[in-house]
Structure 1
Amino acid sequence: MNMRARQKGVALLVALLAVALAVIMASSLIDHGEQGRARLRNQWRAEQSAELMRGLEAWAVQAILADQRASPDFDPLDAPWRQPLPPITVPGAVITGQLRDLGACFNLNALAADGSTDEVAVRRLQRVLIGLNLETRIANQAADYVDRDREVQDNGAEDNAYAALRPAARSANRPFTDISELKRLPAVDARVYAALAPYVCAAPVDAQFNLNSAPPVLWLSVADGMDLAQARRLAREPGTAYRSIEAVREALQREGINNADLGPFSLGSNAYQVQAQIDADGLVFDYSSVLMRTPGKVQVLARVRGRL
């Protein structure tokens, strides 16, 4: 009798184990099926968002070309494309975005446009840094970071300075691809980066510096001796664009500034950044593209998922 009871107990245990195993296998299959469907859904949403980004780029191209036709010689602050794009709802997604003027920021890549440090550009950035109450050696370090050589300029930083960091690094000796690379400079901490980031960009080397859209702090880059009060008077408001470089020169002379070299500056922009956020069925995708304008044409130079 005891033997039969033990046999029944073993059989029951085996049956329970079999049932448990079956439940685990079924749960695993269901889990894998749900994961597979989630992957497919996410992949499809990512592909959908990428196509929507291309559509947003097409809108940006048309807006830029329309602006060029309306004012071919200058780009004012009241151009329609400067307004953020209101949320657009399409089946399965909501799109928001804006077009950033890369002529309204100091282009870090201008510090060594041909691979060699441009001392005049370094001095222009130093004037901006002084206006922001930041150390001028940041400009020298940024120039060393972007120029091709490995020679340390005064107050600069090359491989030896980066090797002493933790973790150790090396100077890039190539153009900036994103302004966040400034954080690698020995003279840039979180406070400095927060103060400087709104006024700089990593644009193509031939991006124009647009005096019609430059904020007052960036006007300090135009000439030695300019103070912030003068820069505020010279900076433009919507509806008050400079229409010629001669008009800029006359405005500078009224401020007592007669030594400005206006060669590096322009009254229009030719480089732009499309920034988009696409909410596709609860999945949020950020995209950025860099556009370059030439007469009658706009070219996409770069497109990334994320922020540039």
Structure 2
Amino acid sequence: MSITVNAQRGVALLTILLLVVSITVVAGAMLASQKVAIRRSGLLFDQNQLLQDIDAGQQLAVTMIRADSQLNDTDSERDIWAQPIPPYTLANHSISIELRDEAGRFNINNLYQGGAVNTAALAVFQRLLTQLNLETDIAVAVLDWQDADSDVYQDGGDESTVYAKQLNGTANGALPNQPFVSIDQLQEVRGVSAEALATMRPYLTAVPYYVPININAASPVLLAALIDDATSQQMQGLVDARARQALTSTDEIWQLANLSDVDDAQRQAIVPLLAVDSQAFMALITANDNAVTDNGRGRQRFATVLISKTAVNDSQQSNNNQTPNGSNTDSDTPKEIKVVGQRLWAFRPSF
């Protein structure tokens, strides 16, 4: 009888121990799951906070460009948007903004506008390639990439045959026949190597609408590409002049001693490509979560934002202050500043 009672007590004790172990395991699993859920919620909150920071930086960039456009009709390194912008800090988060004038670069989408080739823009691009010691055939290849036909420009021939070896994985070798959305796409264009792309990158942009070259922001190399046989050294005088005071008219480029003898035909071809202000800006926004993570660093999120500045009465974005055919809109016309594109990055992009 005593043995039976002891056995029953042992079984009861074992049962209790098993229950305790089971409860402990279940509680541990619930606690671990709860920690994961809390961690996931924290990460989502941090990511949402970073995205909100990027939106705030985007609005600040737009506000700065809008404020500057009300102060003057030019865009140069002297303007408020071009000055270093201190990081904006709120609690453990900070926002950094860098602004760049895209009209200080050559817009490769200028080559084909309104269903027609812009021959003057093509000539400038070819001269720019010459300035950079690159093959001028690249300009035609870039044009073929975006124009609407299936023939190689001027030389004829089927684009799908010419480009078949360049288009990796494309079944019929057909070109997109649409504007570029990024300079990085140039690496798919015939004749553009990684080295050539690296050389061209500082001088090019890919804005989806027509953007005249801002002579207040363009580099001496790009300015030299405007005129036959010009050099970047010759254009340094223009760069020095605008550093003292922003140029208020494109006519001032012809006042340089070494450009005063440019014939009227070449001037008329070049003038529609020029401006003294910008119709496109690129903002690089960096959102920082300064709280230290497990790897000892704060989280970061990056965004590049394309901001347009166009006359409010323009019916087409491709015809801003100066159109490809040379007609000018009133410089006093109010400008509309808005975001036309945003791209998020997990790492800092080249800028």
TM-score surpassing 0.5? yes
Q: Is the Cα–Cα contact under 8 Å of residues 144 and 157 in structure 1 kept in the other structure? A: no
Q: CA deviation at 1:291?
A: 1.1
Alpha-carbon distance between aligned partners in 2 of 1:155 and 1:276, rounded to the nearest angstrom: 44
Q: Is the Cα–Cα contact under 8 Å of residues 292 and 299 in structure 1 kept in the other structure? A: yes
Alpha-carbon distance between aligned partners in 1 of 2:288 and 2:216, rounded to the nearest angstrom: 34
Q: CA deviation at 1:249?
A: 2.1
What amino acid does structure 2 have at the position aligned with 1:232?
A: Q
Worse-matched range after superposition: 204-213 or 190-199: 204-213
Q: Is the Cα–Cα contact under 8 Å of residues 273 and 289 in structure 1 kept in the other structure? A: yes
- Structure with more of its chain in helix, by fraction: 1
What amino acid does structure 2 have at the position aligned with 1:52?
A: D
Distance verdict in 2 for CA 1:297–1:118, change over 3 Å:
closer
Match of 1:112 in 2: 112
Does 1:186 find its partner at 2:214? no
Per-residue deviation, residues 40-93 of structure 1 (Å, max 9, x unmatched)? 222222222222222222222222122222212x22221121123222221231
Per-residue deviation, residues 162-188 of structure 1 (Å, max 9, x unmatched)? 432473234221111111111111211
Q: CA deviation at 1:143?
A: 0.8
Identity %, equivalent residues: 26
Match of 1:210 in 2: 214
Alpha-carbon distance between aligned partners in 2 of 1:246 and 1:165, rounded to the nearest angstrom: 42
Q: CA deviation at 1:155?
A: 9.4
User: Which secondary structure state, in structure 2, belongs to the residue aligned with residue 303 of structure 1?
Assistant: strand
User: Which secondary structure state, in structure 1, belongs to the residue aligned with residue 284 of structure 2?
Assistant: strand
Alpha-carbon distance between aligned partners in 2 of 1:207 and 1:213, rounded to the nearest angstrom: 13
Select 1:234's aligned residue among 231, 235, 238: 238
What amino acid does structure 2 have at the position aligned with 1:70?
A: L
Distance verdict in 2 for CA 1:37–1:223, change over 3 Å:
same
Per-residue deviation, residues 242-301 of structure 1 (Å, max 9, x unmatched)? 222222222266554333321211011121111111112422111121111132431111
Match of 1:54 in 2: 55
Q: Is the Cα–Cα contact under 8 Å of residues 76 and 82 in structure 2 kept in the other structure? A: no
Alpha-carbon distance between aligned partners in 2 of 1:198 and 1:163, rounded to the nearest angstrom: 28
Alpha-carbon distance between aligned partners in 1 of 2:151 and 2:215, rounded to the nearest angstrom: 33
Match of 2:340 in 1: 301
Q: CA deviation at 1:156?
A: 9.5
Q: Is the Cα–Cα contact under 8 Å of residues 141 and 157 in structure 1 kept in the other structure? A: no
Q: Is the Cα–Cα contact under 8 Å of residues 109 and 206 in structure 2 kept in the other structure? A: yes
Q: Is the Cα–Cα contact under 8 Å of residues 230 and 255 in structure 1 kept in the other structure? A: no
Select 2:308's aligned residue among 292, 299, 303: 292
Match of 2:227 in 1: 223
Match of 2:82 in 1: 82
User: Which secondary structure state, in structure 1, belongs to the residue aligned with residue 99 of structure 2?
Assistant: strand
* Structure 1: unaligned runs, 5 residues or longer: 1-11
Alpha-carbon distance between aligned partners in 2 of 1:209 and 1:55, rounded to the nearest angstrom: 29
Q: CA deviation at 1:31?
A: 5.1
User: Which secondary structure state, in structure 1, belongs to the residue aligned with residue 87 of structure 2?
Assistant: strand
Per-residue deviation, residues 94-146 of structure 1 (Å, max 9, x unmatched)? 21121111111100110112243322211110111110111111111111112
Match of 1:5 in 2: none
Alpha-carbon distance between aligned partners in 2 of 1:194 and 1:118, rounded to the nearest angstrom: 25
Does 1:132 find its partner at 2:132? yes
Match of 2:255 in 1: 250
Select 2:287's aligned residue among 278, 284, 289: 278
User: Which secondary structure state, in structure 2, belongs to the residue aligned with residue 234 of structure 1?
Assistant: helix
Q: CA deviation at 1:221?
A: 2.7
Alpha-carbon distance between aligned partners in 2 of 1:255 and 1:27, rounded to the nearest angstrom: 83
Distance verdict in 2 for CA 1:165–1:247, change over 3 Å:
closer
Alpha-carbon distance between aligned partners in 1 of 2:192 and 2:166, rounded to the nearest angstrom: 13
Q: Is the Cα–Cα contact under 8 Å of residues 103 and 209 in structure 1 kept in the other structure? A: yes
Distance verdict in 2 for CA 1:275–1:67, change over 3 Å:
same
Worse-matched range after superposition: 62-71 or 130-139: 62-71
Match of 1:92 in 2: 92
User: Which secondary structure state, in structure 2, belongs to the residue aligned with residue 151 of structure 1?
Assistant: coil
Q: Is the Cα–Cα contact under 8 Å of residues 107 and 210 in structure 2 kept in the other structure? A: no
* Structure 2: unaligned runs, 5 residues or longer: 1-13, 292-297, 312-333
Does 1:199 find its partner at 2:203? yes
User: Which secondary structure state, in structure 1, belongs to the residue aligned with residue 243 of structure 2?
Assistant: coil
RMSD: 3.0
Q: Is the Cα–Cα contact under 8 Å of residues 117 and 144 in structure 1 kept in the other structure? A: no
